[in-house]
Amino acid sequence: MEKSTCEVILQPIGKHIRIPVGTTLLDAARQAGVELVAICGGEGVCGTCRVCPVSGPVSPPSLTEQAELTPADLSAGMRLACETEVLGDVKVDIPPESFTTPQRLQVEGQEAPPELAPAVAALDVDAPPPSLDDLRSDLTRLREALPDPDIHTGLPVLATISETLRRNNWRVRLALRGDELVAILPPGEGLYGLAVDVGTTKLAAYLVNLENGDTVAKSGAMNPQIAYGEDVISRINHANQHANGAKTLQGRLVETLNGLVDELCAQAGVTPGQVVEAVIVGNTAMHHLFAGLPVKQLGESPYVAAVSDAMEIPSAELGLCLAPGAVIYLPPNVAGYVGADHVSMLLGADLQETAKTTIALDIGTNTEISLFHGRKHWSCSCASGPAFEGAHISDGMRAAPGAVERVRIDGEAVQVHTIGEQPAIGICGSGILDAVAGLVKAGLVDKRGALKGEHPRLVPDDKNSAFILVPAAQSGTGRDVHVTRQDVNEIQLAKGAIRAGLEILLVEAGIEAREIQQFIVAGAFGTYLDLDSAIAIGMFPELPRERFQQVGNAAGSGAKRLLLSNRLRQVATEIAQAVQYVELAKHPDFMKVYVKALGL
């Protein structure tokens, strides 16, 4: 009798595989074409194939695992992939060190010129040492050595005062945020700031020199919350449905951010104690989960934020290990589904004072779009779904080595390019976009997304017709990598939502698409997508190509600008207050426009 099968979801790359019950996680990963580090070849003796099953039934830890893993690892749910058998549908989190090749993370963004007026400034001080004739406290003698002694500080900074003064012979550098003492450092030490874009899928982090505005280190990581849900709604559900669910999500994020801070500081040769300010941007749900704000109402109509104002929170309160008095600035949110990351993206793309008719969008599971026209500004959020993240696509995966990222269909020839030029194991967002556009251009798909016509790669099978992008013999999985009608329909839903959102904003402004003077595409997917393909499937309007700009991680660039300029923080608040948020769900034209936008 054939063994029953189950589904394994490998996170964070989002690869799904169906395998017989009883298969080890190492074999499941191999069959999915995902290479894990397995130095001993699966003998259970090297301890390198560490993974963390987060839901679904697996075999209990074997004696080998109990010997190889520490009690702390075991109680954190860590397992050896070569020893763990899958007993049902399972979701597994793969830590970065267990991948043989790193994920592709987008940290670069177009840079607007920095304005240098940060919230924290350095002040060098010589304090008089104490003596039998001068028994003033360390804080008093430090205060009285200042031009303005009226400074305040908290216990975390005071805990460092005596040792730092003595170790540096009473000559120190103070990091002052107005009259708030943030850190006492050795003389001459530089002051740095941390800027982070917390995406639902990825984190991009930057370390910035606050004195000259230079980015001295940058790095990225996957958002560890992905193990608890791929999208915002499933994270909100996790927070609501599990005791300490929100705390777990916050803790995992803070832990990863602390790891990034250590990595950035090591890259730049500075200490976390020199990081005196942080700016963290994210969509409204990521913002609320990070700050410990309630998220239940974000998952229920009418989807309102708990807080939309800009916030300043002591980093120590959130467990972020920076200078003892460092403050984290969170820019304002616009609405439940247009977050601080969108405001930051607009600043990163330098659009705060644009006089041009401009569309700016960042494509994700939710796509936030802004339209600037005639000194007015509208925004909306479209439920574009996770198809461009590779989810809900039969061979979909995130942008990782082996993902098909480019497709050209030229007559009978089909050319594909994979990330890292590795054998294809799946398709990421830009690849599926190209594939659908190629099928449209080749006349192999009808308006409703049904595959049709004659092509050697087309497998006609009425309902289950598919187009083979990479035949089994050339793939990294031993199976065809293909696009199905269902996949085409998923892309239609995603692009339909984006185009409809864009059209509704144009309706609100009373203008037509051809009047758009600049079209800014931000974000990781936006960086890699092919504009011709996006236009061919009707996701973007047909405009002269020079009006488009793909600006990379503009939300990250905006976070850096906010780190360096107090004035821009005020501008961020003005943007959030001035924007007219358009709720698509209640717009009278939305359904009509959406249905029209679905066609290919």
What is the β-pairing status of strands 192-198 and 202-209? antiparallel
Q: Which of residues 42 and 220 has its CB atom nearest to ligand FES in the complex?
A: 42
The arrangement of strands across the sheet holding 426-427 comes to 413-418, 403-410, 426-427
Q: By the 8 A CB rule, do 534 and 499 touch?
A: no
Q: How far is the CB of 69 from ligand FES (least distance, A)?
A: 10
Q: How many CA atoms lie within 13 A of 295 on its CB side?
A: 26
Using alpha carbons, list the distances in angstroms from residue 84 to 36, 178, 529.
Answer: 14, 55, 38
Q: How far is the CB of 539 from ligand FES (least distance, A)?
A: 43
Q: Which of residues 15 and 50 has its CB atom nearest to ligand FES in the complex?
A: 50
What is the β-pairing status of strands 5-11 and 192-198? unpaired
Q: Which of residues 47 and 190 has its CB atom nearest to ligand FES in the complex?
A: 47
Q: Which of residues 58 and 181 has its CB atom nearest to ligand FES in the complex?
A: 58
Q: Which of residues 49 and 183 has its CB atom nearest to ligand FES in the complex?
A: 49
Cα 580 to Cα 380: distance, rounded to the nearest angstrom: 9
**Cα angle, residue 121 at apex, residues 261 and 142 outer, rounded to 5°:** 105
Q: Which of residues 40 and 355 has its CB atom nearest to ligand FES in the complex?
A: 40
Q: Which of residues 59 and 240 has its CB atom nearest to ligand FES in the complex?
A: 59
Using alpha carbons, list the distances in angstroms from residue 346 to 136, 171, 282, 400, 444.
Answer: 51, 42, 13, 28, 38
Q: How far is the CB of 476 from ligand FES (least distance, A)?
A: 19
Rule CB under 6 A: which residues touch ligand FES? 38-40, 42-49, 80, 82
Q: How far is the CB of 101 from ligand FES (least distance, A)?
A: 17
φ, ψ of residue 485 in degrees (nearest 5): -60, -40
Q: By the 8 A CB rule, do 232 and 365 touch?
A: yes
Total residues found in the chain within this entry: 600
Kindly report whether the peptide bond that precedes residue 129 is cis, defined as omega within 30 degrees of 0.
no
Q: How far is the CB of 87 from ligand FES (least distance, A)?
A: 19
Cα 154 to Cα 324: distance, rounded to the nearest angstrom: 9
Residue 411: name the closest of 379, 451, 453 by CA: 453
Q: How far is the CB of 65 from ligand FES (least distance, A)?
A: 9
Q: Which of residues 97 and 150 has its CB atom nearest to ligand FES in the complex?
A: 97
Q: How far is the CB of 28 from ligand FES (least distance, A)?
A: 13
Cα 34 to Cα 173: distance, rounded to the nearest angstrom: 50
Q: How far is the CB of 64 from ligand FES (least distance, A)?
A: 8
Q: Which of residues 80 and 205 has its CB atom nearest to ligand FES in the complex?
A: 80
Residue 107: name the closest of 199, 193, 220, 216 by CA: 220
Name the one residue in this structure whose structure tokens are 């580090």. 37
Q: How far is the CB of 24 from ligand FES (least distance, A)?
A: 9
